């Protein structure tokens, strides 16, 4: 009898453990699905495959991603908090749509990322001279690749320009930013990417100006002038926003009609 009782207890304990393990696994799986849905939908928005102003149909989006509606719904609310998706309420229903690309939004985003990178740049300027020289060498190499594209004059290279420009800025952030600053930068960068990718082919003619601004950032890092680095990074983003606004004025705001 004792053996049976012991066996029964073992089975029950094992069952509880299995249920608990299943619950944890299910929770982990849901979390992974939510993150995957968030990343995939954000990529569709950033790359313009879900265009600004597009109404979002949850079921269609779930089918497109091959997921259930639960993680897609959670991802949409997450994207709403980060500004990629907006909500329109009426007396009968609530609908979500992809956030438009507007001049006001661009000004806010570019000001934020300029400030964040400026803070990171200050820390980069305080690194030992040997480290600063290595960073400057890397940055100058990226800038040279951008200059080669400018001289080649190929509008089709707009995508490559974005990747190189992003690498330039990420190099500065990665060299010195702490975890909190990195999280802030990672959150805001894809939102500015939306503008870059949609308007890049129209901004390419002004790329030489941005390269001159990059060179000022590099020189400031080389001499270890924190104030100068911060000012140069913020100017690069601020001037970039002005160049973007001129293009938006020509072609109109996307998704706000």
Do 127 and 219 belong together in one domain?
yes
In the prediction, which pLDDT does 157 show?
61
Q: What is the dihedral of CA 204, 155, 257, 97, to 10 degrees?
A: -100
Give per-residue burial for 6-30: e unless 16+ CB within 10 Å, then b: eeeeeeeeeeeeeeeeeeeeeeeee
Do 89 and 129 belong together in one domain?
no
In the prediction, which pLDDT does 30 show?
52
Are 136 and 218 contacting, i.e. CB atoms less than 8 angstroms apart? yes
Domain that holds residue 8: 2-98
Do 17 and 110 belong together in one domain?
no
In the prediction, which pLDDT does 14 show?
47
Select from 98, 129, 162 the last residue of a domain: 98
Do 140 and 15 belong together in one domain?
no
CATH number at residue 76: 1.10.10.10
CATH number at residue 206: 1.20.120.530
Do 37 and 125 belong together in one domain?
no
In the prediction, which pLDDT does 25 show?
44
Is position 185 within any domain? yes
pLDDT values of the chain reduced to their tens digit, one per residue, 257 residues: 444 444 444 444 444 455 555 544 444 445 579 999 999 999 999 999 999 999 999 999 999 999 999 999 999 999 999 999 999 988 788 899 999 999 999 999 999 999 999 999 999 999 999 999 999 999 999 999 999 887 876 655 666 888 899 999 999 999 999 999 999 999 999 999 988 887 766 767 788 899 999 999 999 999 999 999 999 999 999 999 998 898 888 888 888 65
Are 150 and 89 contacting, i.e. CB atoms less than 8 angstroms apart? no
Do 172 and 92 belong together in one domain?
no
Do 193 and 80 belong together in one domain?
no
* Predicted TM-score (pTM) of this structure: 0.80
CA within 13 Å, CB half, 151: 6
Do 143 and 28 belong together in one domain?
no
Q: What angle do CA 237, 238, 243 make, to 5 degrees?
A: 90
Is position 204 within any domain? yes
Do 109 and 225 belong together in one domain?
yes
And the tokens for 164? 């190189």
Select from 50, 82, 98 the last residue of a domain: 98
Q: How many domains does the chain have?
A: 2
In the prediction, which pLDDT does 94 show?
86
Please state whether beta strands 85-89 and 55-56 pair in parallel, antiparallel, or not at all (unpaired): unpaired
């Amino acid at each position: 009898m004792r053996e049976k009782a012991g066996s029964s207890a073992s089975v029950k304990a094992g069952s509880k453990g299995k249920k608990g393990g299943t619950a944890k696994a299910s929770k982990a799986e849901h979390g992974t699905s939510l993150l995957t849905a968030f990343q995939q939908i954000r990529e569709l928005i950033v790359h313009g495959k879900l265009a600004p102003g597009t109404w979002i149909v949850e079921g269609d989006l779930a089918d497109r991603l091959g997921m259930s509606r639960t993680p897609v719904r959670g991802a949409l609310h997450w994207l709403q908090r980060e500004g990629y998706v907006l909500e329109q309420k009426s007396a009968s229903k609530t609908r979500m749509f992809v956030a438009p690309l507007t001049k006001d939004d661009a000004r806010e985003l570019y000001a934020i990322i300029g400030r964040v990178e400026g803070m990171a740049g200050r820390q980069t300027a305080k690194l030992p001279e040997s480290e600063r020289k290595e960073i400057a060498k890397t940055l100058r190499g990226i800038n040279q690749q951008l200059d080669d594209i400018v001289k080649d004059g190929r509008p089709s290279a707009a995508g490559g320009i974005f990747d190189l420009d992003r690498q330039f800025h990420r190099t500065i952030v990665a060299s010195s930013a702490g975890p909190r600053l990195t999280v802030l930068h990672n959150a805001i960068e894809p939102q500015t990417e939306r503008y870059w990718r949609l308007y890049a082919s129209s901004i390419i003619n002004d790329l030489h100006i941005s390269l001159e601004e990059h060179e000022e950032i590099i020189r400031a890092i080389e001499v270890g002038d924190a104030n100068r680095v911060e000012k140069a990074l913020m100017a690069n983003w601020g001037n970039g926003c002005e160049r973007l606004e001129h293009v938006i004025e020509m072609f109109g705001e996307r998704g706000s009609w």
